[in-house]
Structure 1
Amino acid sequence: MSQQQRLHALAQDMRQRHLYELFSQEQQRFERLSVQHEQIIFDFSKQRLNDEVLDELIGFAKAKQLDTWIERLFSQQKINYTEQRAAMHWALRLPEYSERHQDLSTEVHAQLQRMFALVEQIHAGQYRGVTGQVIQDVVNIGVGGSDLGPMMVSHALADFKHQTAKGLRLHFVSTMDGSQLSDVLQHLRPETTLFIVSSKSFSTIDTLSNAQTARLWLSAGLGEQSLFLKHHFIGISTRADKMTAWGITPDKQFLLWDWVGGRYSLWSCIGLPIALSIGVAQFKRLLAGAYSVDQHFQLADFRQNIPVLMALIGMWNINFLQINTHAVLPYDGRLKYFTSYLQQLEMESNGKSIQRNHQPVEMHTCPIIWGEVGPNAQHAFYQLLHQGTNRVSCDFIAPIHRYDQQQLQLENANSLIEQHYLALSNCLAQSRLLAFGNHALENEDLDQLPVYQHYSGNQPSSTMLMKSLEPYSLGMLIALYEHKVFVQSVLWNINPFDQWGVEKGKQIANSLLPVLTHTHADLSHLDASTRGLIQSIQMF
């Protein structure tokens, strides 16, 4: 019997068993099915598996040569084979004087040091616009990883905002229709606004269209382009030539490398908005947290390796228990954008159907990732989770501590601490009810309850507890999910570092753009639906 056949047989048995039964029959289940690494506790005891399943899953990973693939990831090999590139986002958080990969570390830190110098100049009020006024607003123009990563982290670490004399406000713009940019510009002054244009290729139409609108806005307010471009635009890209041609001066350019995927780039100078928000020292702690997980991922035994366990559990749910949707539920409002960030990280990476050998995949790949901040989600879709007909796996994420009275310097700090524990208690309660259903209803007489107040439970979940939400632990959390995605790509034999499904739609859009703007354009080459829609657009 093959490993897959054994796993299918174990899954068939597990479908007949309830999580309540597993907890009742197995001693020290939590102790055996949870792992702590520094500030993070990963509890997977409420997943529908046991030691036998876990051993078989680890055997599956070893048969897929996961240990060899981890070594290849942390090398300079071109494991992104479709684009002939390495995938070395881990190099962005190497210590400055790393003995291993010293050449990479030196190259990365040369750019980071330039970025840190700019951040400190802005924080000190020494960076000024063309009229000599201090910069007070920074607008990050990007899309995908150039937007989601910086925005997610800046929002999550709002408690660590660096204080400046005049105050510094950050804004994020990504939509190509200009709606976000229009809303932002209404409240800004050209003299005190700095734009960051982040685009790996510096050819992304979404980003460049917003950048061009920003340039026209500055021109209307400040006049001579050559002067305001130098003072009011920062560029971040792999293409220095394109940034220069656009008008960004070389001293305002920060460079990326083609081995950094956009969704893995927040650790680089793409993270400039993060550094502006929390300061250089805290940005370095963010990098240090991710580096700690890089070491854990490389060195820990698979049985104690959090990213490996996350990936194996996900594969078990998707491929053997046929649970194809996964909800991410943070119980902290600061992680508002974390699920959106993971949607790109996971679905753009592993939403593939072709193996590395160019054959169709043999197993389902990435699940649908969705979710919301837990306390809000409880009043939205938890009804479906608890009593619906769909099977959903969940990740609950929560910090253990929040609100320090000395830090807040607020009279009502104690009430805020109580509110935090209210959220934490809800996090624990919801995972308990999802797992155990009616068995979690303490002091309830089920015979007296109508059937519509019953709960079947047996919905699997993992819980990720952080000591507190701060730069180091957030760096750890993000890196854990990054490496989980890589492990699953190995299990499914796919390339997680390209995104051809993104590129083609944008190319077709570019071909349709001139057709939309010319009333008498030839539409005969288009399908009937697209042709009809364009004619309707032109009619209105």
Structure 2
Amino acid sequence: MLSSPNSAPSHSYSQTPNNAHSAVNIVLDTAYQGIDAADWKTLFNQARSAKLAQFIEDMFAGKHINKSEDRPALHSALRNLSKIPVFIQGQDVMPAVVDVWHRIEALCNQWVGVTDVIHIGIGGSDFGPRLAIEALAHVPGIHSRGMRMHFLANIDTAESARILAKANPHSTRVIIVSKSFTTLETAMNAKAVAKWLLDSGCTPSQITNSLFAVTANISAATTFGISQEHIYPFWDWVGGRYSVWSAVGLPIALQYGFDTFKDFLAGAHAMDLHFKNTPLEQNLPVIMALTLLYQQEQNDVKAYAAIPYADALDWFPKWLQQLDMESNGKSVDRDGKPVKHSSPVVFGSAGSNAQHSYFQLFHQGPEIIPIDFIAVREPMSDRPEAVAHHRILLSNCLAQAQALANGKEASNPNDVYPGKRPSNLLLLPELNAFYLGALLALYENRAATLGALWNINSFDQPGVEYGKVLAKPIEKALASHAQDVQASEHIDVITAARIIFLNTTALKK
């Protein structure tokens, strides 16, 4: 059942527009970037100076490119359906990966009568599977097992209250996802859901049967009360934001079947093979990275937008925010020196809704904000009006890119569009599990490429830790209800005043 990767569906682009390249039947058109042949030559020379080809080879070979944590970054092994051996310190990791595939497939065949699945995780343990579940729900005719799939990430009890009000405790399964199994929000939410099961009349054995974990900390999961056979491994060579391809993606297989999950892996694997084996000049992740680098160097851009003209991909920009800004939002490079460039701010939402929100800024604001327009050739529904509506959707996508690039002159200053606003167009043949996997892997590999070009480690995230350290003494001060909080090493004068205000006006229970 786990054989060679599924081939791409039978779409073919025998002709593509000028300035366009294709991989895995996804077309990238850079015509509106304003990059001429001489500029491209300079950009590819920069890539060679950064030893990009060697970096790509080292990444797939399992070298410790994550220098600060002395680890490989081998998320590509999680989708390596070719099963070509991948070695870390002389040991092939693929047998362990394949074993997890078999366990996921077996679990899909075991769950009967489950009405609700609560997936508890945050950040990289949440965005990927949530995006996939939302996106694939729009695929016409997709087989779904009909379970209600709930994602619980926020420690704000408003989210858990909404979920628990809908779920049936006696037919609910809970998947707790935490690489360390110590993530505060995940741990507290997991305890709250376990208590909800108990308070709802579930017996201890029923609760044990309902709890599953995806983690690298097996002992902590066992201590929590999760049986060994319900624990799916996580490895330290997989970063959280790159983990949807592991058992973190369990909801995809459980909701849509293991074959759909395998198609998702196959699309990503196909993009990996393109990234690994294609010369820089035809390499989609590399070309996309170089367009952003060009705009940074020419226009000092500080933000870019990803606008998918597909309602199914409305969660994609949120997933991309973590991928890019947590990977490459750094102030120093791999040598500890100040960076020249780092990740721009990333934002976006589904077109054409976005046009009626913030496109005014794109067209006439003083800032130049590059855009990745993402479009799908085929409609995402089988409604009788789908073709006509989709034609309008695509027309808007193409028109916005043209207007931004070419601008418009007018005697009235309010009607002037300055133009020269750069964009890419990514065109998917259709949106299904295969192409969703390919799209996500394209951006993952682009993020790694940008890290190499900027000499940044894309696989650590030290900046997220300091706030967590400061939160502990602040929480203690809030819990004490003290009305005289003194500034200290971890609480400054302003925060102390805010704690006093909260202690006197809220959180009194």
- What TM-score comes out, normalization by structure 1 length? 0.87
In 2: Cα distance, 1:360 partner to 1:322 partner: 16
Q: Which residue of 2 aligns with 1:240?
A: 218
Q: Does the alignment pair 1:396 with 2:377?
A: no
The alpha carbon displacement at 1:506 in A equals: 1.1
Aligned mate of 1:498, from 441, 455, 460:
460
Q: After alignment, is 475-484 or 78-87 more displaced?
A: 78-87
Aligned mate of 1:359, from 337, 342, 345:
337
Q: Does the alignment pair 1:71 with 2:57?
A: yes
In 1: Cα distance, 2:18 partner to 2:105 partner: 43
Q: Which residue of 2 aligns with 1:301?
A: 279
The alpha carbon displacement at 1:511 in A equals: 2.5
Aligned mate of 1:435, from 388, 402, 405:
405
The alpha carbon displacement at 1:224 in A equals: 3.7
The Cα offsets for residues 219-252 of structure 1, whole Å up to 9 and x where unpaired, read as 1012543x13321111000011000001111111
Q: What pairs with 1:112-511 in structure 2 (closer than 5 Å)?
A: 112-122=101-111, 125=112, 134-160=113-139, 161-164=142-145, 167-225=146-204, 227-361=205-339, 363-403=340-380, 408=382, 413-438=383-408, 446=410, 450-511=412-473
Query: SS of the counterpart of 1:46?
Result: helix
Q: What pairs with 1:509-528 in structure 2 (closer than 5 Å)?
A: 509-520=471-482, 523-525=486-488, 526-528=491-493
In 1: Cα distance, 2:48 partner to 2:277 partner: 15
Query: SS of the counterpart of 2:384?
Result: helix
Would the aligned equivalents of 1:403 and 1:417 in 2 still touch at CA under 8 Å? no
Would the aligned equivalents of 1:120 and 1:280 in 2 still touch at CA under 8 Å? no
The Cα offsets for residues 440-480 of structure 1, whole Å up to 9 and x where unpaired, read as xxxxxx56xx3322211110000000000011111111111
Q: Which residue of 2 aligns with 1:84?
A: 70
In 2: Cα distance, 1:451 partner to 1:516 partner: 54
The Cα offsets for residues 176-215 of structure 1, whole Å up to 9 and x where unpaired, read as 1221111111112210111111011100001111111101
Query: SS of the counterpart of 2:304?
Result: strand
In 2: Cα distance, 1:310 partner to 1:420 partner: 26
Query: SS of the counterpart of 2:53?
Result: helix
Q: How many residues align?
A: 482
Would the aligned equivalents of 2:198 and 2:207 in 1 still touch at CA under 8 Å? no
Would the aligned equivalents of 2:62 and 2:86 in 1 still touch at CA under 8 Å? no
Structure 1, gaps ≥5 residues long = 1-29, 126-133, 440-445
In 2: Cα distance, 1:100 partner to 1:206 partner: 34
Q: Which residue of 2 aligns with 1:34?
A: 20
Query: SS of the counterpart of 1:401?
Result: coil
Give the counterpart letter for 1:510 in structure 2: K
Would the aligned equivalents of 2:24 and 2:271 in 1 still touch at CA under 8 Å? no
In 2: Cα distance, 1:460 partner to 1:319 partner: 13
The alpha carbon displacement at 1:31 in A equals: 4.3
The Cα offsets for residues 77-132 of structure 1, whole Å up to 9 and x where unpaired, read as 2111111111100000112542565922211010121011112222xx2xxxxxxx
* Cα distance change, pair 432–199 in 1 and its aligned pair in 2 (3 A): same
Would the aligned equivalents of 1:198 and 1:235 in 2 still touch at CA under 8 Å? yes
In 1: Cα distance, 2:128 partner to 2:51 partner: 31
* Cα distance change, pair 218–50 in 1 and its aligned pair in 2 (3 A): same
* Cα distance change, pair 506–539 in 1 and its aligned pair in 2 (3 A): same
The alpha carbon displacement at 1:159 in A equals: 3.3
* Cα distance change, pair 512–388 in 1 and its aligned pair in 2 (3 A): same
In 1: Cα distance, 2:221 partner to 2:367 partner: 48
The alpha carbon displacement at 1:522 in A equals: 5.5
In 2: Cα distance, 1:504 partner to 1:252 partner: 33
Query: SS of the counterpart of 1:162?
Result: coil
In 2: Cα distance, 1:489 partner to 1:205 partner: 29
Q: After alignment, is 520-529 or 303-312 more displaced?
A: 520-529
Would the aligned equivalents of 1:95 and 1:105 in 2 still touch at CA under 8 Å? no
Give the counterpart letter for 1:37 in structure 2: A
Give the counterpart letter for 1:532 in structure 2: A
Q: Which residue of 2 aligns with 1:53?
A: 39
Give the counterpart letter for 2:437 in structure 1: G
Q: Which residue of 1 aligns with 2:503?
A: 538
Q: Does the alignment pair 1:107 with 2:92?
A: no
Structure 2, gaps ≥5 residues long = 1-15
Would the aligned equivalents of 1:331 and 1:375 in 2 still touch at CA under 8 Å? yes
Structure showing greater radius of gyration is 1
In 2: Cα distance, 1:85 partner to 1:310 partner: 26
In 2: Cα distance, 1:35 partner to 1:268 partner: 30
Q: After alignment, is 321-330 or 259-268 more displaced?
A: 321-330
In 2: Cα distance, 1:190 partner to 1:261 partner: 32
In 1: Cα distance, 2:232 partner to 2:202 partner: 26
Would the aligned equivalents of 2:404 and 2:422 in 1 still touch at CA under 8 Å? yes
Query: SS of the counterpart of 2:34?
Result: coil
Q: Which residue of 1 aligns with 2:4?
A: none
In 1: Cα distance, 2:462 partner to 2:83 partner: 36
* Cα distance change, pair 58–497 in 1 and its aligned pair in 2 (3 A): same
Q: CA RMSD in A?
A: 1.6
Would the aligned equivalents of 1:119 and 1:275 in 2 still touch at CA under 8 Å? yes
In 2: Cα distance, 1:38 partner to 1:531 partner: 55
- What TM-score comes out, normalization by structure 2 length? 0.92
Would the aligned equivalents of 1:328 and 1:371 in 2 still touch at CA under 8 Å? yes
In 2: Cα distance, 1:338 partner to 1:106 partner: 31
